Amino acid sequence: MRHEVRFSGFGGQGIILSAVILGRAAVIYDTKFAVQTQVYGPEARGGASMSAVIIDDEPILYPKVTNPDIFVIMSQEGFEKYGANAPESAVMVLDSSLVQSRPKCTCYEIPATQEAKQTLGRDIVANIVMLGALVATTHIVTEMALEKAILDSVPKGTEALNTKAMKKGIELAAAGSKKA
């Protein structure tokens, strides 16, 4: 079971942290193999950023994502730069609050930023909402592994907020809109 996951959004959305958390969930709590890479653009905060994770049951011999089959897209620029050419066989989880375009592949529309602001009161946890939706739609790692990895990774004092954000993502995915 090899999956290549590409995360994209704008700098400051927690794109790299999302990939780190997913990799940690796979390796530490689901006993899989994973490798994570990232791209820092010169624009840092505000410009398109990208991070990637490979998760496999077997050791990973080449650490670069070459054929992503899962995309997590959190901004229109991120979609245009890293998701517009997703193959039809791919799965995309996108933040419908911020991404206007839609891919040709299977797509789960999650209003992560909107829900993070309105329901949770902090748009900073939109990436965690997206992680919950990703796991609910793809089962790439278990929900328990994701929750433990989130709790290992977020600042002290924000654990309850981030747990709520993850659960909100799972809930949105269950009720969400899927386009094939």
The number of helix segments (H) and strand segments (E) in the chain equals 6, 7
**pLDDT value, residue 11:** 83
The amino acid sitting at 84 is A
DSSP 8-state code for residue 152: H
**pLDDT value, residue 153:** 95
**pLDDT value, residue 35:** 96
Residue 83 contacts residue 103 (beta carbons within 8 Å): yes
Count how many domains the chain has.
Answer: 1
List of the chain residues with pLDDT < 70: 40-46, 177-180
Residue 123: domain span: 3-179
The predicted model scores a pTM of 0.93
Burial class (CB in 10 A: 0-12, 13-18, 19+), 75: buried
In whole angstroms, give the CA distance from residue 149 to residue 147: 5
CATH number of domain containing 30: 3.40.920.10
Residues 6+ apart with CB under 8 A from 33: 26, 27, 55, 56, 57, 58, 59, 60
**pLDDT value, residue 48:** 78
